[in-house]
């Protein structure tokens, strides 16, 4: 029986690439995002890879939408074996004194509350089955200061700690949680960042590279990395070799001086 993966923010960009790649790997795929039209496009691409696909539009910060997405995907495709929390939001970088507090908080809500709600909805079943993967798409901005993107950095640092602490809580349950930073990817989110336009081509990563890393992380070969923050260019085999008992080592910015 095929396993089921649920990908949030699957309407475009990184989420779409992950969903299509998982479909190509033989997974049944559940999709959710706010745009039904974009989800339909992703569904067609995933179905072309031979996957059975269920798409449920919704807002990741809305508890009812999250419950409905998990209910429908589970009913149509079976228990969720893999959750990829990819949906995210970033506001325009600006000094803190110039921000709109409501928009600032929307960043935190989307990037933290969204993964929290979806994880809460699927984790119990995974623990009961002694098996499951939760991959949280994080960012290098969670581990270091980048420009004036304070809300985004705060949200991703919080997500990093969420993954770290929850992995410790469910240690031994068979459920693996990993943060994955995809690096800089040209998506709708980064298209609104004119401060990034001057970066060289080599600084950018294709969304397909992130999808490749997700497939590796859910393969079973790297379960020892549960609780870890992993960057796109990390050699997973090397990370496993260098583990010193506990993978839960976060790459937070070291103190200056």
Catalytic one of 27, 133, 152, 229: 152
For residue 247, tell me if it sits in a domain.
Answer: no
**Residue 104 domain-assigned (yes or no):** yes
In a domain, 253, yes or no: no
* CATH number of the CATH domain containing 68: 3.40.50.720
The count of structural domains within the chain is 1
221 inside domain:
yes
pLDDT for residue 184: 64
The rounded mean pLDDT for the chain is: 87
Q: What is the pLDDT of residues 176-218, one digit of tens each?
A: 999 999 876 555 555 455 555 555 455 557 889 999 999 999 9
Please state, in angstroms and rounded to a whole number, the distance separating the CA atoms of residues 190 and 39.
20
Asked if the structure places residue 251 within a domain, the reply is: no
As a whole number of angstroms, the distance between CA 19 and CA 9 comes to 10
Please, what sign has the CA dihedral across residues 152, 158, 164, 170? negative
Per-residue pLDDT, averaged over 93-113, amounts to 91
* Tokens 């990370």 sit on residue: 239
Write the pLDDT tens digit of every residue in 122-168.
999 999 999 999 999 998 776 666 665 788 889 999 999 999 999 99
The pLDDT score that the predictor gives to residue 245 is: 52
Q: What is the pLDDT of residue 248?
A: 45
- Is residue 255 in a domain? no
Query: Is 256 inside a domain boundary?
Result: no
- For the record, the structure tokens of 35 come out as 């745009």
pLDDT value at residue 148: 58
Q: How far apart are the first and last CA of the chain?
A: 55
Q: Does 10 map to a domain?
A: yes
Q: Please state, in angstroms and as integers, the Cα–Cα distance from residue 182 to each residue in 93, 125, 141, following that order.
A: 20, 28, 11
Tokens of 219: 């393969």
For residue 152, indicate whether it is catalytic: yes
Domain that holds residue 135: 4-242
How many helices (H) does the chain have, and how many strands (E)? 9, 7
Residue 252 has a pLDDT of 40
Separation of alpha carbons 112 and 147, rounded Å: 21
H-helix or E-strand spanning residue 32: strand 28-32
């Amino acid at each position: 029986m095929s396993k089921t993966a649920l990908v949030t923010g699957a309407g475009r960009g990184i989420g779409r690439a992950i969903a299509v790649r998982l479909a190509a790997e033989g997974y049944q795929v559940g999709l959710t995002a706010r745009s039904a039209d974009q989800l339909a496009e992703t569904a067609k691409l995933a179905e072309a890879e031979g996957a059975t696909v269920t798409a449920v539009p919704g807002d990741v910060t809305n508890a009812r939408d999250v419950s409905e997405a998990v209910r429908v995907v589970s009913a149509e495709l079976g228990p969720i074996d893999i959750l990829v929390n990819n949906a995210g939001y970033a506001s325009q970088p600006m000094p803190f004194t110039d921000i709109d507090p409501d928009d600032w908080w929307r960043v935190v809500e989307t990037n933290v509350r969204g993964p929290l709600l979806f994880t809460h909805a699927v984790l119990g079943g995974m623990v009961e089955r002694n098996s499951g993967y939760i991959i949280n798409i994080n960012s290098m901005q969670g581990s270091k200061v980048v420009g004036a993107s304070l809300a985004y950095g705060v949200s991703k640092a919080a997500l990093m700690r969420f993954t770290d602490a929850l992995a410790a809580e469910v240690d031994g349950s068979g459920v693996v949680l990993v943060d994955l930073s995809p690096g800089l990817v040209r998506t709708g989110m980064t298209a609104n960042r004119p401060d990034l336009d001057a970066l060289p081509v080599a600084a950018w990563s294709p969304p397909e590279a992130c999808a490749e890393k997700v497939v590796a992380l859910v393969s079973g070969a790297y379960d020892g990395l549960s609780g870890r923050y992993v960057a796109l260019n990390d050699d997973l085999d090397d990370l496993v070799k260098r583990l010193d008992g506990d993978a839960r080592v976060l790459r937070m910015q070291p103190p200056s001086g």
